[in-house]
């Protein structure tokens, strides 16, 4: 007799010769016909399994050994879970594949066998399942594992572990529950392990409901999703697990995955398709790809993602030292430490479409042995469309940093101190920063905040307590890192900081770096001897390791082969490091490929030469942005400006065709005591020998500074500007006893170079001064050049002891030496270059004099810092206030202005009379 409430069904199919074959027995309690069925079968290996199926055709198999899902197929019968071909479905081995349940321990994080014993036990059907709400078209099985006497011998805690496994169209849901049936409290670990078919795996602790979804539906509570894609031959490949708390659907996700090399990484993604990978080893970005999946960061093919070596490539964090700027290992130890997710990130504001991770590195006892300072180094890394942002704030283990990415060097750079190279921040595990700084949000930006705090080990080697926080953000075409270091120590301390940018380039021999020309640098290959950059741009044909000083806020790395420019902008980090090991050193570096030097270049931001001093509770903040321009400067509209802090003068000006417009002597010296021969020297407070001071005054022989208090001049469209300042020093007052401030704004826009000088009297008494801008213009042939606009004017001839004459010629042409100071000149002068078919137009205000000078052949040969034939391709036409010095009363200010602009064809090549252009005659 068959019971209506409980029945058994025998499944069979036709076998060989038409004989029926029994497949198994399936049991069902009374339920509606529409309810999917669960089938209990014996597998070929003899194991008992429950088969869960649902109407659309997908199915899952659950083994009673281990209580785990061993198979999950979609409606097309494609396998979604990996299962080893050598998996054993019976004791004593755990099943390799599927979804093993790790309890009460994960991995080797305890004294029990690896991953605990739950996966090695036979489970039972649960006769007392939890009263969870039913789901439509869902097939469910409830299993239970209760502690036995054998279990109590190895883990003395009584428990009940229940698991509900459900399948519905496109979804696999697992709800674990652990009940303490012991008289005492106990702690345990829990994880669902997902081995993937690519030999990588991910595991996650699941305190609440867990779902694995193929259709990527939005969760209603905390859940984990299994992502997969089609592999070779149509086989699905598990990609990893991504976890998210309740958040809007528009919020990008962070994915925690285990890479093939075994390292743990956080994947930050944003809606446009770009993403970044952050390694917990070194707390550094190891990959950043744009929406076209093009790699923007270099990573060595031999990079090691585990101790003791640092990762070669990406964005390593150099802390507490950069390079060899100290006694620590190179670039400090932060890049050689495992960082942690920061549970106390800084309270930075959220950003739309931004994915963020906060990491922290705290000083440990081992760190303190080599750098006796307790600290916390936090880093927030964020990605948003076209932008990667990193915000470090200045806290754990292996000695080697990650080679590649963007390592954080703190509290030392290189060997510039007694700590390990580049400090220890890059050798510590950072944490996610739960207290990120309130930085303004950015559109389409994905962000992560990391923190590193000093530990007892760090205090032993660097005895200063600190918090190092980093925010890393990505947005379309941009990667941003914002580091912050806070002094949590009762005493002040100094530190170095650097972001080592391992940039991926097409061919190092086709790359040039612009923005560092004429600057002083320390050459690490020459025992840090100080030199001045002589080249128009930095190119590469051998090993280079330099620390540039007093660098501008913007540096361009031009990759001609890829037709793109990486623009580095920085704040709070005055130094820039340029490094490439070239072939010999690359071969001697264990974690770098022999040919890797050909496709990588480090251009770093840092505060190295002069360490940063922090008083207790004070905080330092820096900022770095790496952005991508699709074509290099030389192929676009932007003209790179070149300004030297020595002399505060422009040393190069090129048009959009990269043609040089200013003369620069091949023998020019870019460092004291000589003035720079060429460009646009500033003559103050004297011109020539019109006074008792050295020739042309001393302003052109001094180091200038960036002006932090520039004048509120109106902005200009498409204009790039720099503000410099020179203030009187005690040495200056000894030779010219007047206190002053000389400010200069230098601006470039399409076809125009503008200089606005200002002199302020900060002295209690009035004084007089001369001022001139000496314009060394580059011409094709001096004999083919004419100057118009000075005809009929009086001038002082310096070749005739300043005797006064009147200009008789219709225009000034050149067939010999000339050195004249023209008086009461108009505001506009034209320099016509017939051979180049162009005119340089000089406009000026506040400077009534004009100087015309060319040394010709004899004087050129007698001038030490000038080539013998240079006179043929140069001409000086200067603006100045020379004949009548300017008088300034205390607190008064004088302002001048000069514009040099280019006209593509010369005035004389058409029908127009140039004098009518100059004077506006009709």
574 has pLDDT over 90:
yes
- The DSSP code for 152 is H
What is the average pLDDT score of the chain? Answer: 81
Q: Provide CB contacts within 8 A for 400, sequence distance 6+.
A: 304, 307, 308, 309, 310, 335, 336, 427, 591
Residue 229's beta-bridge partner residues? 237
Containing H/E element for 325?
A: none
435 has pLDDT over 80:
no
CA distances from 114 to 109, 119, 204 (A): 8, 10, 15
Nearest to 534 by CA among 519, 512, 547: 519
- Cα-Cα-Cα-Cα torsion 555, 559, 565, 567, nearest 10 degrees, comes to -30
Q: Provide CB contacts within 8 A for 867, sequence distance 6+.
A: 665, 666, 667, 860
907 has pLDDT over 70:
no
**DSSP reduced 3-state for 818:** strand
What is the pLDDT confidence band of residue 914, given thresholds at 50, 70 and 90?
Answer: very low
Q: Provide CB contacts within 8 A for 685, sequence distance 6+.
A: 691, 693, 697, 698, 699, 736, 738, 740, 769, 770, 771
What is the pLDDT confidence band of residue 671, given thresholds at 50, 70 and 90?
Answer: confident
Q: Percent helix, strand and coil across the chain, each rounded to 5? A: 10, 45, 45
Nearest to 724 by CA among 648, 653, 670, 671: 648
Which overall architecture, per CATH, does domain 311-507+581-612 show? Distorted Sandwich (2.70)
Phi, psi of 432 (to 5 degrees): -65, 140
What is the pLDDT confidence band of residue 416, given thresholds at 50, 70 and 90?
Answer: confident
Res 713: pLDDT: 63
Q: Are 351 and 384 in contact (CB under 8 A)?
A: yes
Phi, psi of 459 (to 5 degrees): -65, -25
- State the alpha helices, DSSP H only, in 269-402: 365-370
CB-count burial class (<10 Å; 0-12, 13-18, 19+) for 658:
exposed
Mean pLDDT lowest among 3-7, 707-711, 915-919: 3-7
Q: Are 395 and 452 in contact (CB under 8 A)?
A: yes
State pTM to two decimals: 0.39
- The DSSP code for 582 is H
Res 249: pLDDT: 33
What confidence tens digit (pLDDT) does each residue in 535-573 have? 878 999 999 999 999 999 999 998 877 878 899 999 999
Mean pLDDT of 240-249: 31
Map out the domains of the chain as residue ranges: 32-195, 311-507+581-612, 642-773, 779-875+899-913
What sign results for the dihedral spanned by CA atoms 417, 418, 421, 424? negative
How many angstroms separate the CA atoms of 489 and 469, rounded? 16
Res 523: pLDDT: 95
What confidence tens digit (pLDDT) does each residue in 117-162 have? 999 999 998 887 867 665 556 788 999 999 999 999 999 999 999 9
Nearest to 412 by CA among 333, 465, 481, 466: 333
Measure the CA angle with vertex 338, ends 337 and 341; round to 5°.
Answer: 135
Domain covering 642-773 in this structure, CATH number: 2.70.98.10
Cβ density class 236-275: b for 16+ within 10 Å, e for less: bbbbbbbbbeeeeeebbbbbbbbbeeebbbbbbbbbbebb
Tell me if domain 642-773 and domain 779-875+899-913 are identical in fold. yes
Mean pLDDT of 811-830: 96
**DSSP reduced 3-state for 153:** helix
Nearest to 511 by CA among 602, 643, 644, 604: 602
How many angstroms separate the CA atoms of 661 and 432, rounded? 52
What confidence tens digit (pLDDT) does each residue in 854-898 have? 999 999 999 999 999 999 999 999 999 999 999 999 999 999 999
How many angstroms separate the CA atoms of 91 and 70, rounded? 16
Neighbours of 760 (CB within 10 A): 18
Neighbours of 181 (CB within 10 A): 10
More confident residue, 687 or 218: 687
CATH 3.40.50.2300 fits 779-875+899-913, yes or no: no
Mean pLDDT lowest among 204-213, 399-408, 608-617: 204-213
CATH 2.70.98.10 fits 32-195, yes or no: yes
295 has pLDDT over 70:
yes
């Amino acid at each position: 007799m068959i019971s209506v409430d409980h029945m058994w069904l025998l499944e069979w199919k036709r076998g060989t010769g038409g004989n029926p074959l029994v497949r198994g027995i399936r049991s069902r309690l009374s339920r509606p016909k529409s309810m999917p069925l669960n089938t209990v079968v014996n597998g070929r290996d003899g194991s008992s399994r429950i088969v869960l199926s649902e109407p659309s055709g997908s199915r899952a198999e659950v083994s009673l050994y281990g209580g785990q899902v061993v198979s999950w197929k979609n409606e097309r019968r494609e396998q979604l879970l990996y299962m080893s071909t050598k998996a054993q479905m019976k004791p004593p081995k755990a099943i390799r594949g599927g979804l093993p349940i790790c309890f009460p321990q994960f991995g080797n994080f305890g004294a029990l066998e690896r991953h605990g014993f739950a996966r090695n036990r036979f489970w039972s059907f649960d006769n007392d399942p939890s009263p969870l709400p039913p789901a439509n078209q869902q097939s469910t099985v409830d299993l239970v594992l209760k502690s036995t006497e054998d279990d109590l011998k190895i883990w003395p805690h009584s428990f009940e572990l229940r698991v509900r496994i459900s399948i519905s169209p496109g979804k696999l849901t697992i709800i674990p529950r652990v009940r303490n049936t012991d008289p005492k409290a106990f702690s345990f670990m829990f994880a669902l392990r997902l081995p993937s078919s690519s030999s990588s795996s991910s595991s996650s602790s699941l305190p609440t409901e867990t779902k694995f979804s193929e259709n990527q539906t939005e969760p209603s509570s905390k859940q984990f999703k299994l992502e997969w894609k089609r592999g070779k031959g149509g086989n699905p490949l598990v990609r990893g697990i991504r976890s998210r708390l309740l958040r809007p659907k528009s919020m990008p996700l962070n994915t925690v995955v285990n890479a093939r090399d075994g390292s743990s990484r956080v994947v930050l993604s944003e809606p446009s398709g770009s993403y970044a990978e952050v390694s917990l080893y070194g707390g550094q970005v190891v990959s950043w790809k744009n929406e076209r999946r093009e790699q923007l960061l270099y990573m060595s093919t031999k990079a090691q993602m585990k101790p003791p070596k640092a990762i070669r490539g990406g964005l390593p964090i150099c802390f507490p030292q950069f390079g060899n700027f100290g006694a620590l290992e190179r670039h400090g130890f932060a890049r050689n430490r495992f960082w942690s997710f920061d549970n106390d990130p800084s309270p930075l504001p959220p950003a739309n479409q931004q994915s963020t991770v906060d990491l922290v590195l705290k000083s440990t006892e081992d760190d303190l042995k080599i750098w006796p300072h307790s600290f916390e180094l936090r880093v927030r890394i964020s990605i948003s469309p076209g932008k990667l942002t990193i915000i470090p704030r200045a806290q754990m283990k292996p000695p080697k940093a990650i080679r590649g990415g963007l390592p954080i060097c703190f509290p030392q750079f290189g060997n510039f101190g007694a700590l390990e190279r580049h400090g220890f921040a890059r050798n510590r595990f950072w944490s996610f920063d739960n207290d990120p700084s309130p930085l303004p949000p950015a559109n389409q930006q994905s962000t992560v905040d990391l923190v590193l705090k000093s530990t007892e080990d760090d205090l032993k080697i660097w005895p200063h307590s600190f918090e190092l926080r980093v925010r890393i953000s990505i947005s379309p075409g941009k990667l941003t890192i914002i580091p912050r270091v806070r002094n949590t120590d009762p005493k002040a301390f100094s530190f170095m900081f650097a972001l080592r940018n391992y940039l991926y380039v097409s061919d190092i021999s086709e790359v040039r770096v612009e923005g560092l020309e004429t600057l002083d640098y320390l050459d690490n290959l020459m025992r840090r001897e100080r030199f001045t950059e002589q080249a128009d741009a930095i190119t590469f044909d051998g090993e280079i390791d330099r620390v540039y000083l007093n660098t501008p806020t913007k540096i361009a790395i031009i990759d001609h082969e890829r037709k793109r420019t990486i623009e580095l902008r920085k704040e709070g980090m005055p130094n820039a490091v340029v490094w490439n090991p070239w072939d010999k050193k690359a071969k001697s570096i264990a974690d770098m490929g022999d040919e890797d030097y050909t496709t990588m270049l480090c251009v770093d931001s840092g505060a190295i030469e002069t360490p940063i001093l922090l008083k207790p509770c004070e905080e330092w903040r820096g900022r770095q942005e790496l952005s991508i321009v699709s074509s290099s400067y030389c192929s676009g509209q932007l003209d790179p400006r070149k300004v030297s802090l020595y002399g505060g003068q422009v040393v190069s000006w090129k048009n959009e065709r990269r043609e040089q417009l200013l003369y620069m002597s091949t023998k020019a010296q870019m460092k004291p005591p000589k003035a720079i021969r060429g460009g646009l020297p500033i003559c103050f407070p004297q011109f020539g020998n019109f006074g008792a001071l050295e020739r042309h005054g001393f302003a052109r022989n001094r180091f200038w500074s960036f002006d932090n208090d520039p004048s509120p001049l109106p902005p200009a469209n498409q204009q790039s500007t720099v503000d410099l300042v020179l203030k009187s020093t005690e040495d200056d007052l000894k030779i010219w006893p007047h206190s002053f401030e000389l400010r200069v704004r230098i601006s470039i826009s399409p076809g125009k170079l503008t200089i606005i000088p200002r002199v302020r009297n900060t002295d209690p008494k009035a004084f007089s001064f001369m001022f001139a801008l000496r314009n060394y213009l580059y011409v094709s042939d001096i004999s083919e050049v004419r100057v118009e606009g000075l005809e009929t004017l009086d001038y002082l001839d310096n070749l005739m002891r300043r005797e006064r004459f009147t200009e008789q010629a219709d225009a000034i042409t050149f067939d010999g030496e000339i050195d004249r100071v023209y008086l009461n000149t108009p505001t506009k002068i034209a320099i016509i270059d017939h051979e180049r078919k162009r005119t340089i137009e000089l406009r000026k205000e506040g400077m009534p004099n004009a100087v015309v000078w060319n040394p010709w052949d004899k004087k050129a040969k007698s001038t030490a810092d000038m080539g013998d034939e240079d006179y043929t391709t140069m001409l000086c036409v200067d603006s100045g206030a020379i004949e009548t010095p300017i008088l300034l009363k205390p607190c008064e200010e004088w302002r001048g202005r000069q514009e040099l602009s280019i006209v593509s064809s010369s005035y004389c090549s058409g029908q127009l009379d140039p004098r009518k252009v100059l004077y506006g005659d009709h």
